Amino acid sequence: MDVNVNGLFYCCRFVAPFMLENFYGRIVNISSVAGKEGNPNASAYSASKAGVIGFTKSLGKELATSGILVNCVTPATFESPILAQLPQSQVDYMRSRIPMGRLGEAAECAALVCWLASEECSFSTAATFDISGGRTTY
């Protein structure tokens, strides 16, 4: 909670005044599919990522007319070194929940974040963008 929710809150509270001075800004928060679905044996993590989604929606609406857009990304499982710490059966299970049949790549998530942080993203705020290979469709 301290990192995922409080850290995010304090970071946004710090940067928002600078963005308000310029009547422009983009905030992209990183949540997780776990924040939408909940993961077994990860209730604290899931709750913290749900908090990121709720905070993003609220802050996005608060700043909607200020030129500052606030959105979040909810990735499913992505290729990363942390997966080496898990049993292969668990990684296989996570992959099996993704209709595309594979894990995400960091560059794919980075591309979405770059668009959300760009001027091209001009009419999306307080939104949650799934990048899940079809796992989440709501």
* Catalytic-labelled residue, pool 10, 45, 93, 138: 45
Tell me whether residue 138 is one of the annotated catalytic residues.
no
Give 3-12 contacts, CB < 8 A, sequence gap 24+.
Answer: 3/48, 4/45, 4/48, 4/49, 4/51, 4/52, 5/48, 5/51, 5/52, 5/55, 8/52, 8/55, 9/55, 12/55, 12/59, 12/70
Active-site residue list: 45
